[in-house]
Amino acid sequence: MVKLNKIYTRTGDDGTTGLVAGPRRKKHDLRVESYGAVDETNSCIGLVRQHLADHPDLDRMIVRIQNDLFDLGADLATPETGKKLDYEPLRIVPSQVDRLEQEIDMLNADLEPLRSFVLPGGTPAASALHLARTVARRAERRIVALQESEGEAVSASAVAYINRLSDFLFVAARFVNDKGRTDILWVPGQNR
């Protein structure tokens, strides 16, 4: 159980932050940037929920995703150092990726077929979902860069989860746009 009694510690006043395990890192460190971008994604998804009163099943999926994103943040904040820990660190597992894929397929089943790229917009819920999707893509870029950095480890499940999440958010945006019927489609060269 997490217990936070004091919000400020002053330990970050020197420009560093503590990971769950391992040495302190600079606040601009790629690992810190990675889990920070995951946190930003989660905050955007929190805004999505303000627009889902008409979509309680989707809202339940989103709540699960928000919890998963805390798992992902914990995973990224606990780098694999090769040292034995006194506890088993929280990691994203394949079943979390599988669940996202199942939910994508379920939402996508009744969508209008795509005839063009979709412009971000439509309903307030769809607009918020598209924003969350683009922030998730940024988190993915940071996580992949971290994974490719020398001396850093990121699990394949963590990368797959953030990749699948942006797919989920795209499909969910189309779903709340009347199952794609009110999507705003890109018209190439329309304003030439």
28-35 mean pLDDT: 88
Q: Which of 22-26, 66-70, 166-170 has the lowest mean pLDDT?
A: 22-26
Please check whether residue 40 lies inside any domain of the structure.
Answer: yes
Please check whether residue 7 lies inside any domain of the structure.
Answer: no
Structure tokens at 20: 């769950």
- Tens of pLDDT, residue by residue over 100-136, are 999 999 999 999 888 899 999 999 999 999 999 999 9
Q: Which of 2-6, 63-67, 170-174 has the lowest mean pLDDT?
A: 2-6
CATH number at residue 43: 1.20.1200.10
Please check whether residue 56 lies inside any domain of the structure.
Answer: yes
Please check whether residue 9 lies inside any domain of the structure.
Answer: no
> Mind spelling out the 3-state secondary structure of the chain?
CCCCCCCCCCHHHHCEECCCCCCCEECCCHHHHHHHHHHHHHHHHHHHHHHCCCCHHHHHHHHHHHHHHHHHHHHHCCCCCCCCCCCCCCCCCHHHHHHHHHHHHHHHCCCCCCCCCEECCCCHHHHHHHHHHHHHHHHHHHHHHHHCCCCCCCCHHHHHHHHHHHHHHHHHHHHHCHHHCCCEECCCCCCC
In the prediction, which pLDDT does 4 show?
Answer: 59
Mean pLDDT of the chain: 90
Please check whether residue 95 lies inside any domain of the structure.
Answer: yes
Q: What is the span of the domain harbouring residue 142? A: 25-79+89-180
Count other Cβ atoms within 10 Å, centred on residue 89: 13
Please check whether residue 166 lies inside any domain of the structure.
Answer: yes
Total of domains in the chain: 1
